Structure 1
Amino acid sequence: MLKHVKHRGLLNTNVKTLPGATIEHVACTIESMDLRSVSNVIVHAGTNDCGSMNFNIDKLEQDYRKLVHDLQNRISGKIYVSGICQRLDDPQLNIKVLQVNERLQSIFQGALTQPYRFCQRRDPGDWGHHLLPVIFVVKQDMYNGFVDMVHLYYVGFVNRKAIKQSIVPISMILGFEIAHLNIQSLRNKLDSVKTLLNEHNYDIFCITETWLNSSIENNEIWINGYEICRLDRQLSQSGGGVLCYIKNGIRFKEIYNFRVETIEALWVEFNLPYSKPLLLGNIYRPPSAKAEYLNELDTMFQQCTSTYNDDFNLDISNKKNAGKINKLAKNSNLNQLIHDFTRITNTSKTIIDLIFVTNLDISTAGVSSLGISDHSLTYLIRKTKKVNIPPKFIKSRSFKKFDEHKFIDDLKSIDWDQIKLSTDVNSAWLLWKSLFSSLCNHYAPLKTKRVKGSLPEWITKDYITLTKDRDYYYKKAHKNNDSKDWDTAKEIRNKVNNLNRNLKKKYCTNTIKENTKNPKKLWNTINKLIPKPKSTVNRVYKNENYTTTDKDTANELNIHFTSIGNSLASKFLNTNINKTTDYTLVDKFKFDYLTSDYIFDEICKFSSNKATGIDNINCKLLKLAAPIICDSLCYICNLSLFTSIFPYEWKQAKVTPIIKKEINQIQVSGKITLPKPLS
């Protein structure tokens, strides 16, 4: 319904999209959906019917009537029908679209409160071939928020400057999203931050007043899908601290050149696609800062060109303070984007969380009320192509329909002696792998599963619903400044905190009790409570430069691993060593040939839960097949010893670079994972 808009930001709304589906297909899909909790439905379908070679407007009307009739029998609310967008890029298709819209208007005229409205695309480079649709069928008796959003998105996409930032959610506007929040203790509110990032998925999330120090490791504050950059205070100092959560896949490096001892500032440079490098500063000014602080800040600003998320603790709604900030911005050619109150209590309103930019290439910026902290969230969306992080997939074998007896019977029917006819170890191995893998694929086929980020297991739907209620009442209290709203917001906030503690305590207690006799599951539970961050190498620094593509990163790592030996050897001085002992070989070294029993015993030692390697041969299937395949595998191993040739595929391995702390250049060690249990 809404092109180029992320539906996750629509409150109390479920958006179901069926790319390429006709009206008939939509009807079939809706039949299997549970609509008992649905109050109203908006239908937007018919574009694919118009593009069909068998287009028939009478059949389209018949399918549409059937679809609406079926919906009327299943929901108690209202049904609204949306028209199809005009396609100026395809005149023939556009004629059909106009015919369908006229027919729909004549059928469902009673459901419409506004005439059909179509908007032409203004920027083909941004929006592609589809025109921007406007939903015209919403009545005021639907929930008000959705009506307002529909209208605002029409205005916003045609003329972006007309977007009302106080109403349009940040999660619906496309671009590179940067947000900032003064949180006042990250550890106590980590679950709330996880819930926030799971819902909004910011590219960069800056935090001030983390209240962290060197005694707190990254794994204690790690969030799935993000990397961490942080600057803490000393152990002897309390409060303060700045941190950035950076989405995995975004290339970045910390900049140390601009750091000043008296200023808490974290500087990070980002290398975004189709864009110049972006330098971002996350700065915290404590309330006790001296008068010279702004002068030092001015000196630091003039050294760089960037975006700054600043918690100034200097209220610019005060004319005197506003003058100081304006002078600072003017001296450094900066533009301050935040003009709404960022910290609101029942007795005061201040603007102390600011965003400075040197480039006005910004889609929108604003303030969003949250109940996590007494500060509101500030954000900006930069007109930069959003970094598309490729999804992670894992392959595993499905044993859902696995029949062990038939699998064993078919294994016995295979002529494994044909492998012994081969005198080349590589050919013998490829033939063996082909025979075994084909049978495995038949009984336990490979399935590809997309790995999605998830919240901690103790966070329930009730908890998420309560956090949304908390944010709603805080937003209402900020707007109306009514004592009842403030009391309700604080009450719900306390409920959220208590519920979070109780859920976490209950989860830990139950899982530990259930797994006291199973150490493996017990440690898995402990690791979930304190996860270890998964370090990924997506950039490598060398000679003060860093790689910009995955290919460059892989090449630099390959150069490093292949040259590290010679590099280390060159650092040792040549020494003359006198040989005092003459070593002679007494017996000629040789390998003993293996037996089938030895191969069988080794296969039985495999762990059934061991991950598969590059060849996707599963350990569980190997153990089941061991009595049958051990003889053929023994022949391949002995052939390798006899010919002094190690099978080529057994030499392949996955190499994972391990990041060291405070890495400024290529300083990585290789963790080598063997590709298969057989090797």
Structure 2
Amino acid sequence: MGLQKSVSVTKGKGLHFMHFNTRSLLPKISELRCLISDAKPAAVAISETWLDESVPDNEINIQGYAVPCHDRDREGGGVCVYVHNDIAFNNRLDLQSDCLENLWLEILLPKTKPIFFGVFYRPPDDTKFLTYFEDSISKIRSDCEMIIMGDINIDCFKKEVSLFKDYLHILNLFDLRQLITTATRITDTTSTCIDHILTNNPEKMCQSGTISIGLSDHLLIFCTRKAVRGQVGQHRVINIRSTKNYSKDIFLSKLSSINWSSVYKCTDVNHAWDLFSTILLKIIDDIAPMKQIRLKSRTEPWMDDTILDSIRTRDQLLYDFKEDRSNADLYKQYCKVRNKIQRDIKRAKAEYFSSKIDEHKNNPKKLWQQLKALGYSTKTKEQCKVVLEIDGETCFDSTKVADHINTFYTTVASNLVKKLPLTKNEFSTDSKKIPEVLF
């Protein structure tokens, strides 16, 4: 239920942003990869990652996404953002507060002003959060667009509480609107709205809401910013040969019917090869023409049909419980299935890698590929698409950016020399200054 809905809400045009409190990212990374791979959002903010520097990069990487992180430790807290590789962004460490668990990214889009995208996590017992939160937001110019997501742990259903009133005062101060109005954390006894999406440009949002994903007791929240022409989420398309009408007999028949004398009589080997390859490709094009296909998202190799069916069952149970909060048995069934899925994924993943490592133990290249898949890699977690201002315009084209950087470094020395002041014959043999220097 949840996965299908998450994909459906991202079918429309626009930049799709999501937030999810995972309460430990590592055990849920396989499911998260499936979700992101299918939905293809522009960015997914994660709170309570429970990560530290001991976690290898590949353990949390998702193909096609960069992942800047702000870790705390393996016992709690921490935030990160998965950003689609089509999106150019700057990790604004200058806006990041050491007193908060937060990240600020400056998202750069063609033909529009930068969007400041922030993710925040407030521990329930943090009494100074609002002070630092206000200070962090105040660093961004008022004319800049902001989208802020996070587990703020301030229940919007309890409007009479002083903490909420102080929070609302800050939102009003910076003209921020909270978009989520339904419960985001549901247990057998409570229902609270503590995961928020804030924006100072609500008119640019075309949808927002929650999705029942049974990965934790927090629901996934999302919003969609209106489309920017020529932007994100292009499908990956490849060219392949269609073998629908191919058969070995037809192929051999066509080869035997060709008059190859023009190839045999060639005295130049290069010309003979050109003729041969042209004739052969024409035959292949006739019986196996080229066609374009869109690559479908694939799940993790250890996520078998049994696990995927269990995920659908779990999300449906959570959805049913939301509709009937008085049914305690539904919640117990949901918890039972949720816990079983985590055990099944751990077991399936361990068995998969164990079999692969055993299979490739005599092949160092293949073995190293499997070890890298486990997380033994030297790649960094964050990769950022480079965008430069060239001739007064923001340039997103990677080739032009590379050429501009190359030109800069190959000419920087000569350009600096040209800016040096001219000294006419100061130290020639006839100069009167030589005695002054020497003596």
TM-score normalised according to structure 1 size = 0.51
More contact order relative to length (CA 8 Å, sep ≥ 6): 2
Whole-Å separation in 1 of the counterparts to 2:279 and 2:299: 38
8 Å Cα contact 1:317/1:351 also seen in 2: yes
User: Which whole-Å CA distance do the structure 2 matches of 1:527 and 1:398 have between them?
Assistant: 34
CA contact (8 A) 1:251 1:548 kept: no
Cα separation, 2, equivalents of 1:375 and 1:527: 31
- What is aligned with 1:154? none
Tell which deviates more after alignment, 180-189 or 519-528.
Answer: 519-528
Partner of 1:437: 277
Residues 317, 537 of structure 1: CA spacing in aligned structure 2 closer, same or farther, 3 A cutoff? closer
The structure 2 residue matched to 1:296, chosen from 118, 132, 139, is: 132
Q: For 1:203 and 1:516, how far apart are their aligned partners in 2?
A: 39
Alignment of 1:385-404 (within 5 A): 385=228, 387-394=231-238, 401=248
Structure 2 match to 1:254: 91
Query: 1:299 corresponds to which letter in structure 2?
Result: D
Amino acid at match of 1:241: G
Q: What residue in structure 2 maps to residue 467 of structure 1?
A: 311
**Would the alpha carbon gap of residues 360 and 499 (structure 1) be closer, same or farther in structure 2, given more than 3 Å must change?**
same
Q: Is the 8 A contact 2:25 2:50 kept in 1?
A: yes
Q: Does 2:213 correspond to 1:370?
A: yes
Find the aligned partners of 1:340 and 1:467 in 2 and give their Cα distance. Answer: 23
Which of the numbers 556, 561, 564 marks the counterpart of 2:401? 556
Matched, 1:540 2:395: no
* Conservation of the 8 A alpha-carbon contact between 2:56 and 2:376: no
The answer to whether the 8 Å contact 1:369/1:475 transfers is yes
Shift of 1:527: 4.5
Counterpart pick for 2:346 among 501, 504, 508? 501
Q: Distance in 1 between matches of 2:50 and 2:261?
A: 65
- Which residue in the other structure is 1:312 paired with? 152
User: For residues 41-190 of structure 1, what are the structure 2 equivalents within 5 Å?
Assistant: 170-171=9-10, 173-190=12-29
Helix, strand or coil at the partner of 1:308: strand
Q: Say which is worse superposed, 251-260 or 484-493, in terms of deviation.
A: 251-260
Aligned to 2:223: 380
Identity %: 26
1:324 to 153, 163, 166: 166
Aligned twin of 2:30: 191
CA distance in 2, matches of 1:479, 1:222: 35
Task: Answer whether contact 2:110 2:396 (CA < 8 A) is retained.
Answer: no
Determine if the alignment matches structure 1 residue 263 to structure 2 residue 103: no
CA deviation profile, 1:27-78 (whole Å, cap 9, x unmatched):
xxxxxxxxxxxxxxxxxxxxxxxxxxxxxxxxxxxxxxxxxxxxxxxxxxxx
**Counterparts of 1:571 and 1:395 in 2: how far apart (Å)?**
48
- Cα distance in 2 between the residues matched to 1:210 and 1:546: 38
What is the TM-score with the length of structure 2 in the denominator?
0.76
| Separation (CA, whole Å) in 1 of partners of 2:372 and 2:290 | 27
| Change in 2 beyond 3 A, CA 1:570/1:272 | closer
C-alpha deviation, 1:389, in angstroms:
3.6
The change in CA–CA distance for 1:214 and 1:518 in structure 2 (over 3 A counts) is closer
CA contact (8 A) 1:186 1:210 kept: yes
1:562 & 1:295 partners in 2: Cα distance? 46
Separation in 1 of the partners of 2:329 and 2:81? 36
Deviations 1:319-346 (A, max 9, x none): 2132122111111111111221211111
Is structure 2 residue 77 aligned with structure 1 residue 240? yes
Could you tell me whether the CA contact under 8 Å between 1:271 and 1:548 is conserved in 2? no
- Paired residues of 1:345 and 1:478 also in contact (CA < 8 A): no
What SS is found at the alignment partner of 2:320? Answer: helix
Question: 1:356 is aligned with what amino acid?
Answer: L
**1:184-224, Cα deviation, whole Å (9 max, x unpaired):** 11111101101222333322111011112223243221112
What is the alpha-carbon distance in structure 1 between the residues aligned to residue 69 and residue 260 of structure 2?
A: 56
User: Residues of 2 paired with 1:480 and 1:208: CA distance?
Assistant: 28
* Kept after mapping to 2: 8 A contact 1:540/1:546: no
3-state SS of paired residue (2:94): coil
Separation in 2, partners of 1:440, 1:505 = 47
Query: How far does residue 356 in structure 1 lie from its aligned partner after superposition?
Result: 1.0
Aligned with 1:483 (options 291, 316, 328): 328
SS where residue 281 of structure 1 aligns?
strand
- Per the alignment, do residues 359 and 411 of structure 1 end up closer, same or farther by CA in structure 2, a change over 3 Å counting? same
Larger Rg: 1
Equivalent residue runs for 1:608-623 within 5 Å: none
Q: CA 1:213/1:416 → structure 2, altered by over 3 Å: closer, same or farther?
A: farther
Deviations 1:443-491 (A, max 9, x none): 6668566444322212123322211111111122233222101111011
Q: Structure 2 regions of 5+ residues with no counterpart?
A: 418-439
Change (3 A) 1:432 1:571: farther
2:298 paired residue among 454, 457, 460: 454
Residue of structure 1 equivalent to 2:437: none
CA contact (8 A) 1:339 1:351 kept: yes
Instruction: Tell me the distance in 1 between the aligned counterparts of 2:55 and 2:387.
Output: 26
Matched, 1:216 2:51: no
CA distances 1:70-104 after superposition (whole Å, capped 9, x unpaired): xxxxxxxxxxxxxxxxxxxxxxxxxxxxxxxxxxx
Contact kept? 1:298, 1:331, Cα under 8 Å: no
- Is residue 2:190 matched to residue 1:348? yes
Q: Is the partner of 1:289 in helix, strand or coil?
A: coil
- Paired residues of 2:88 and 2:384 also in contact (CA < 8 A): no
**Which whole-Å CA distance do the structure 2 matches of 1:480 and 1:354 have between them?**
24
- Report the AA paired with residue 373 of structure 1: S
Distance 2:319 2:16 in 1: 21
Assess, with a 3 A threshold, how the Cα gap between structure 1 residues 191 and 315 changes in structure 2: closer, same or farther.
Answer: same
CA distance in 2, matches of 1:347, 1:498: 25
Pair 1:478–1:393, CA change in 2 (3 A): closer
Q: Report SS of the residue matched to 2:95.
A: coil
In structure 2, distance between residues paired with 1:396 and 1:560: 36
| Partner residue of 2:268 out of 419, 423, 448 | 419
Question: In 2 relative to 1, CA 382–364 (structure 1 residues): closer, same or farther, beyond 3 Å?
Answer: same
Query: How many residues are matched?
Result: 393
TM-aligned CA deviation for residue 395 of structure 1: 5.5
Q: Deviations along 1:215-271, whole A, 9 cap, x unmatched?
A: 3243221112222222223x6x84221111112212222222312210122111223
Q: Which moved more, 1:559-568 or 1:391-400?
A: 391-400
Residue 390 of structure 1, CA deviation? 3.6
* Residues 522 and 410 of structure 1, relative CA distance in 2, 3 Å threshold: farther
1:416/1:499 Cα in 2 relative to 1: closer, same or farther (>3 Å)?
farther
Is residue 2:65 matched to residue 1:226? yes
Residue 180 of structure 2 is matched in structure 1 by 338
SS at match of 2:68: strand
Q: Secondary structure at the match of 2:275?
A: helix
Aligned with 2:165: secondary structure? helix
Higher strand share: 2
